[in-house]
Structure 1
Amino acid sequence: MRILFLCTGNSCRSIIAEATFNHLAPADMRAQSAGSHPTGEVHPRSIALLQAKGIATTGYFSKSWDEIGETPDIVITVCSNAAGETCPAYLGNVLRAHWGVDDPAKATGTEAEIAASFEQAYRILRTRIEAFLKLESTIYQDRVALQTVLQQIGQLS
């Protein structure tokens, strides 16, 4: 099972999701991340947050969806519609779900408030990833049921 976490810049949320998923998932499930308009760098706060959580950060980089070698089985967009962001539409015949999360890279305020924004994004994504990883393997055979469950998971906070 190959998962692609997709956003626009591929510098924060999708990288956090990719690294967290790969940290928690069994060996037969792998995640990648990409952006429709990648920034070209991973946000330093994303790296610091992942390292603080004990999640490996080696090898993660901001990349375009054009650089993804294999077609994923599932594409999960993590842009926040509530923040007025337009989520990219991945071109391909894959199962899609939307797990919108506010962009911590756009957080303003004190250091503590900005750090809290990154922590919140991580916490939401981890909760959703853990729910995904608890699914019974039989659901992967039913695209309609899996689509429904993935959308429900995207509502968890």
Structure 2
Amino acid sequence: MAFTIILTIVGLVLVLSEIFLIPGVGVAGVLGVLSLGGACYYVFYEFGLLAGAVFTAAILAVLIGLIVYTIKTRAWKKLALNTKIDSKVQNIEEEALSVGDSGKAVTRLAPIGTARFDGKAYEVKSLEGMIDAGTEVEVVMFEDNKIYVRPVSADF
């Protein structure tokens, strides 16, 4: 019986930490579900069908109750990011940049990085793989609000 209690507590802690602390399908959630499943199996095996069904229903009720309690107490507000985002996506149409403009890679383009054209920094994507910082680049095309560049010395 102690083994079942330990598996249940460990399983509940792991599942709840996966739900509220570590979002995603990770190791904690998988181990928690396996632990709870093992506890349910052990109860069915050791104590019979009725005890196993009651135990499984109790585990599900506890999980659902904790989730409902968390939602009603607005604990999600503490977990959510409430910061207002004031930045904007780089809009190429309003910028004074055109195909053939030359600039310099400020960061390594691997393949995305920053390049400076006419004193302004832009996020760019290399068409030719990695480009080291400080390399002269030229604008090749615009597509899906992205600026594609290649090294000036490279020939197509």
State the TM bucket, normalised to the shorter chain: under 0.3
With normalisation by structure 2, the TM-score equals: 0.26
Structure holding more strand per residue: 2
Instruction: Give the greater-gyration-radius structure (CA).
Output: 2
